Amino acid sequence: MAAPIGRVTVDQRGLVELAGQGDHDAFAVLARGAIARLDAAARLILRDTELARDAVQEALIQAWRDLPGLRDPDRFDAWLHRLTVHSCIDAARHRRRRIVEVELTPLDGPTVSDSAALVADRDLLDRALAGLEPDARALVVMHFYLGMSMPDAADSLGIPLGTAKSRLHRSLAAMRITVTADGSGTGLIPQGRQVS
């Protein structure tokens, strides 16, 4: 990713280094580039638009505060995802019962010609995700929606890789049960083992 700052074009590593030195403009460029992905992931994890926005905002505030301590600027995206996921899990643990409004938007999804089928699939996936605990939902979102490898997702959640793989396997099995009980979405949940 290249972004102009003044007259100089700086890559993401350079932006991270500038932001770590207190450059507000560099951090704003980084945040603008990541906010759509972070918001989509937070909405999937929390299932509440306002709570998701708050969690992303908390993660970005923490990122600004802690950025000078980031050792490897090349790991900025994974670090920011980890902050967001932890912020979401904290928010989910502390919230009281609230009315849930879900707004699923594809990150880079395929074009679907039948909008009714798309709505039905989204609804079915939403119900399947709703049956998972927030940390399990976070793992599914990180791996399948954010495209993170299993080692990166496990690292972001602070759990061993084996635990992440078994948690993902159990989560997908639970989601499959929900989807199969409906009878209409048998191809929506990935089959087999995830190896990345």
Question: Where do the domains of the chain lie, and which CATH numbers do they carry?
Answer: 2-182 (1.10.10.10)
Tell me the mean pLDDT in the region 86-96: 82
Quote the CA–CA distance of 17 and 158 in Å, as a whole number: 25
Quote the CA–CA distance of 43 and 37 in Å, as a whole number: 10
Quote the CA–CA distance of 138 and 46 in Å, as a whole number: 9
Tell me the mean pLDDT in the region 114-143: 78
Q: Is the pTM of this model over 0.95?
A: no
Q: What is the tally of helices (H) and strands (E) in the chain? A: 8, 2
pLDDT higher than 70, residue 74: yes
Quote the CA–CA distance of 31 and 168 in Å, as a whole number: 29
What is the predicted pLDDT for the residue at 188?
A: 55
The tens digit of pLDDT for each residue in 168-187 reads: 999 988 888 888 876 655 55
Mean pLDDT of the chain: 79
pLDDT higher than 90, residue 48: no
